[in-house]
Amino acid sequence: MIHRHRIGDAHITGVIEYSGPTHDPAFLYPAVDKAARDAALKANTGWLAPHHYAPRIDRLIVTIQLWVVQAGGNVIIVDTGVGNRKVRAAAARMDRLNTLVLPWLESIGAGPAQVTHVVMTHLHTDHVGWNTVDEDGKWVPTFPKARYLFPKEEFDYWKAQYDKGDREVNQGSFVDSVLPILDAGLADFMDGKSEVAGCLAPEPVPGHAPGMLSFRIRSRGEEGLFTADVMHNAIQIAHPEWNDRYCVWPDKALQSRAAVLARAAERGALIMPMHLGYPYCGYVRRQGAGYAFEPAT
């Protein structure tokens, strides 16, 4: 599935790898008290269902998507999903996928020959997979004409684990989807301060991952925020105190989420997370002492 948006002169396209009711709330948010979690989901079902929560089976809807930015002559992919034929034994829903993401990218002018930049918000398994494709049994860069931009702090964190002998860093994706980019000489590192790809201003949001970055894009008075994994589901807009199970630094994750929600509400920015259900992006609006989600049209 492909969905399109505009931020001023920038063309933004979301390419959905998959989306559906995949996560038990107790699994995704294990630190939240069961009674409080159940009560919050019940109270918010009216707006969460059917696009963010499936109450009949008590499952949260989680999307895996790639964002494509076409601006200033550049074709930029922000995060690259799970990828095809990657062995991910620890997560059956990601194991050895066989999707049409690549021809979908080609259909919007973001094929291997067109992409100029691949920008990583962080290096978790479901954000780096299409960095590489299998070519005669070897993982090679999918976009050989692009520069791949990695957050330096994030890369260093996982590389230290790899150097200690852990070859299964991030379910093996560090080996099959990150290191081949360095071997090919296509990697650059972001300091989290300088604008990249001609239009993306990084804003550090550590917590879910150690060096995670969100990216701000502005054009003609309009603004968008690629918010990475600051949230996995829209319920975290109403309940920003909920951390997902994958947070490396829970306290920092709470601080980063609070900062992103406040910035989005103040700026009227279109938030573009990686995992939100339909319509996959929207706006954060002030509601009393907290926030509400307004879906994009």
Whether the predicted pLDDT of 239 surpasses 90: yes
Rounded Cα distance between 52 and 222, Å, is 26
CA dihedral 272, 274, 278, 283 (to 10 degrees): -20
User: At 29, is the pLDDT very low, low, confident or very high (cuts 50, 70, 90)?
Assistant: very high
User: At 148, is the pLDDT very low, low, confident or very high (cuts 50, 70, 90)?
Assistant: very high
pTM of the entire structure?
Answer: 0.96
User: In this structure, are residues 259 and 216 in contact, taking their beta carbons and an 8 Å threshold?
Assistant: no
User: At 1, is the pLDDT very low, low, confident or very high (cuts 50, 70, 90)?
Assistant: confident
| pLDDT tens digits along 119-136 | 999 999 999 999 999 999
Q: For residue 102, which phi and psi values (nearest 5 degrees)?
A: -65, -50
Whether the predicted pLDDT of 297 surpasses 90: no
Whether the predicted pLDDT of 117 surpasses 90: yes
> What is the pLDDT at residue 143?
98
Mean pLDDT score, 37-56: 98
CA dihedral 225, 228, 234, 236 (to 10 degrees): -110
Rounded Cα distance between 239 and 241, Å, is 5
Six token digits for residue 216: 């701000």
Domains in the chain: boundaries: 2-288
Rounded Cα distance between 283 and 151, Å, is 26
CATH C-level class of 2-288: alpha beta
| pLDDT tens digits along 71-113 | 999 999 999 999 999 999 988 999 999 999 999 999 999 999 9
Buried b (16+ CB within 10 A) or exposed e, 60-81: bbbbbbbbbbbbeebbbbbbbb
